[in-house]
Amino acid sequence: MILTGRFLPGLLCVLLALGCATSQIPEVDDSPRVENGPGETRWTAESGWILPASDEWGATARVRMEALKAFEAGAYADALAALRFLEDSTAAAKMLDLRYYLGECCYQLGRYEDALEYYRKVYQADFPSPEFIDKARRRVFEIALAYLKERKTRTMLKVFQVASPDYGIDILLDPADGLVTENPYLSFADDAYMEVANYYFDQGQYAESVLLYDTIVKMSGSEWKELAEYKSALAEYLQVRGAVYDENKLLQARRRFKNYLQSFPRGEYWEEVRGKLREINELEGEKNLKIAKFYLKESELRACDIYLRVVLDNFPNSLAAREAREIRNQIEKTQNQ
């Protein structure tokens, strides 16, 4: 997977690190609290980890129990330190939920890229319970949205960096290993497509958004079908530079808007769609009127009349039709003199 646009030059990174008071990642200390004391390994909310005097973690079963206690208390940095010890132990293979908890700790500490690695291992390699697989996939979706919406994340060195929307899209839809690409029947697959489609739409990348909106329209039972059908038509229309230059795009937009009205005759966007269809009529009427005026200038009255009739018959309520009637009346007066 290619990570594009994710890192800024060093100076800018330093400026970001100093000025990101509004960062959306958790503002917590990610350094584990560890000290030595008598007895077995244990964790307390007040002191953090208390390791034996030997400075060794001790029995993995004990460490696991205490690590989960720290996790449940929200002491994610403390929990992460113990979980990483367990990850390196010989007992790691038997702990099928270990990767998930490692991912959760990293996620809660704002270390999204580390979290991604662990979550992917949950559903690609470790084969834990379906519950953990579903939770891990949902977290990957949330991380992708964080990048897509350009929220700020924290690296292992606690340096702030600007997240890349392209990276968020790759996480979800990369052809090789995108979350939704590999799992198209996820319950939130349509949400993922909608988020990316809306991002493309908002960026003015209308052709890309149309492809994704069409994918949503084809999904059975998606709550986004009406909005996707409307925005696919709107995205098609917004690509039109003019009726003369983009006649095919205009026809496609008309077809899509009419499909919306047919699918959702009482839909939420009914008025907007009717308005766009009137705009399309104006554009097409104006195009044919210009052609008629060209033939009039060339004294080709027969050809001129053909295009005037196209305007009057197909776009009778347009402004172009009003002018077309005036031109025809003027022609008739001239011929009758």
Q: Identify the band that residue 151 occupies on the pLDDT scale cut at 50, 70 and 90.
A: low
Separation of CA 163 from chain center: 13
Q: What is the pLDDT of residue 127?
A: 73
Q: What is the pLDDT of residue 77?
A: 96
Task: Specify which residues 35 forms β-bridges with.
Answer: 50
Report the C-alpha gap between 211 and 284 in whole angstroms: 25
Which amino acid, 48? G
Crossing angle (nearest 10°) for helices 130-148 and 98-108: 30
Q: What is the pLDDT of residue 21?
A: 34
CATH code: domain 188-268 is 1.25.40
Separation of CA 310 from chain center: 43
Contacts of 96 (CB under 8 A, 6+ apart): 126, 127, 128, 129, 132
Residue-wise pLDDT tens digits, 283-329: 999 999 999 999 999 999 999 999 999 999 999 999 999 999 999 99
Average pLDDT, the chain: 86
**pLDDT for 43 beyond 90:** yes
What is the rounded end-to-end Cα distance, in angstroms, of the chain? Answer: 76
**pLDDT for 241 beyond 50:** yes
Looking at residues 8-35, what average pLDDT do you find? 48
Spatial contact of 228 and 220, defined as CB atoms under 8 Å apart: no
Task: Please report, for the chain, the start and end positions of each structural domain, with discontinuous segments joined by +.
Answer: 188-268, 289-336
Residue-wise pLDDT tens digits, 125-143: 777 788 999 999 999 999 9
Residue-wise pLDDT tens digits, 9-19: 333 333 333 33
The four Cα atoms 82, 83, 86, 87 give a dihedral, to 10 degrees, of: -140
